[in-house]
Structure 1
Amino acid sequence: MHIQTAIYSVFEQLKEALEQVTPEEYHARCKALSNATIGQHTRHIIELFMELHKGYETGTVNYENRKRDIAIETDKILAIALLADISKNIEKADKALVLHSNYSIESEYAITVHTNYYRELIYNLEHTVHHMALIRVAINTLTNLTLPEGFGVATSTIKYRKQCAQ
């Protein structure tokens, strides 16, 4: 399945970047990102995958109910271990799921959308790449590390850039 392969690839890129940042850089506030941290963006990625895993078991996904575990955003070793755990558990058969979400601050009314596991994997993959782009900003701002050119860049953008270069 190509979705899982793509997820393994971006997780490997993220893991390699996290291994290079110091623990202090991992939880340092980045002014360019409204004082968010590399750890906060990493936690957000991980927790959405964890919610999808939980939702696969119950048949209902609600990303808003994620735990928001501060330990993930302050401990890069834990985050790297969780990325490895998630990678081991995404090879599942596709199945129908229900997604619950509430986009209103004033209302408790949640919308319900019929979806499936593979569609949610794709959503999480795209979401991961988006947050990796933000992590790239933090790494470029807070460290002297050099990231791979494709870190935090969508596959479609990489393909488009290659076409333009020809």
Structure 2
Amino acid sequence: MTSPHPRPSPDTARLVEENLMTLSQLKDMVASLSPDIYQQAFGEYGRHTLGKHVRHIIDHYDALLVGLERGGEVIDYEQRRRDEALEQWPQQAASHLAGIESRLSVLGGEPSSAALTLAYPLDEEGLSLASSLDRELAFLTSHSIHHMAIIALLAEQSGIHLPETFGVHPSTLRHWQRAPEEQASFSRRSA
């Protein structure tokens, strides 16, 4: 007898885990910051702060989760909340990140085969693009890591020491883990 509900994809669980690892790293960093450092402006026009990049990451996760909570009809990353408190107050942002982690954890048990629609604002009409939960989770990992790499550069300018792995994509971390094995294998073949 077959189940009326599709089984969750093992890929979805793995993608959720990558996102959770990324968000945990970000949450830990944010929770350790003072508001002064979190709000410190960088760049010629003062547009870059650690907080703005963190808020931007949060906005994207919220957009996905809100879209899913509405039945997955439309995921729209352009219609973000842009809550300025999340870019001003690190403890509030860390708390919000913890909430996102809780909401994401549930997705590991969800079927990933349901079709999603991604709203993309190419022009006045925009496009509706076919997507899936797995695709959006993969996007969010890459998007978050991209901004975390910028956060790492800004943090370094403020004298904040972050782990070497902060803002490094999971695929790069896997490559780094294999690199010693590959080098040893190459050395054995060359000998």
Q: TM-score, normalised by structure 2?
A: 0.79
| Worse-superposed segment, 129-138 or 32-41 | 32-41
Cα distance change of structure 1 residues 36 and 3 upon mapping to structure 2, 3 Å threshold:
same
Aligned pair 1:63/2:77, yes or no?
yes
- Structure 1 counterpart of 2:134, from 113, 118, 121: 118
> Given that residues 41 and 47 in structure 2 are in contact (C-alpha distance below 8 angstroms), is that contact kept between their aligned partners in structure 1?
yes
Using the alignment, how far apart are the partners of 1:124 and 1:32 within structure 2?
Answer: 28
SS at match of 2:165: coil
Counterpart residue number, 1:18? 30
Residue 140 of structure 2 aligns to a residue whose secondary structure is helix
Give 4+ residue runs of structure 1 displaced > 6 Å after superposition. Answer: none
**How far does residue 112 in structure 1 lie from its aligned partner after superposition?**
1.1
Structure 1 residues 32, 164: closer, same or farther in 2, change over 3 A?
A: farther
Structure 1: gaps spanning 5 or more residues: none
For 1:87, what is the secondary structure of its paired residue? helix
- Kindly report the root-mean-square deviation, in angstroms, between the aligned alpha carbons of the 2 structures: 1.8
**Residues 120, 33 of structure 1: CA spacing in aligned structure 2 closer, same or farther, 3 A cutoff?**
farther
In structure 1, the partner of 2:61 is 49
**Taking structure 1 as reference, are residues 33 and 9 closer, same or farther at Cα in structure 2, changes over 3 Å only?**
farther
Counterparts of 1:63-142 in structure 2 under 5 Å? 63-90=77-104, 91-92=106-107, 93=110, 94=112, 95-103=114-122, 107-142=123-158
User: In structure 2, what is the equivalent of residue 147 of structure 1?
Assistant: 162
Question: What's the offset of the Cα at 1:164?
Answer: 4.1
CA distance in 1, matches of 2:100, 2:42: 27
Structure 1 partner of 2:19: 7
Distance of 2:74 and 2:163 partners within structure 1:
36
The residue type equivalent to 1:161 in the other structure is W
Structure 2 residue 168 is the aligned partner of structure 1 residue 156: no
1:30 is the counterpart of 2:36: no
**Are the counterparts in 2 of residues 51 and 62 from structure 1 also a CA contact under 8 Å?**
yes
> Which has the greater radius of gyration?
2
More off after superposition, 27-36 vs 67-76: 27-36
TM-score of the two chains, using structure 1 as the length reference:
0.90
What SS does the aligned partner of 1:60 have? Answer: coil
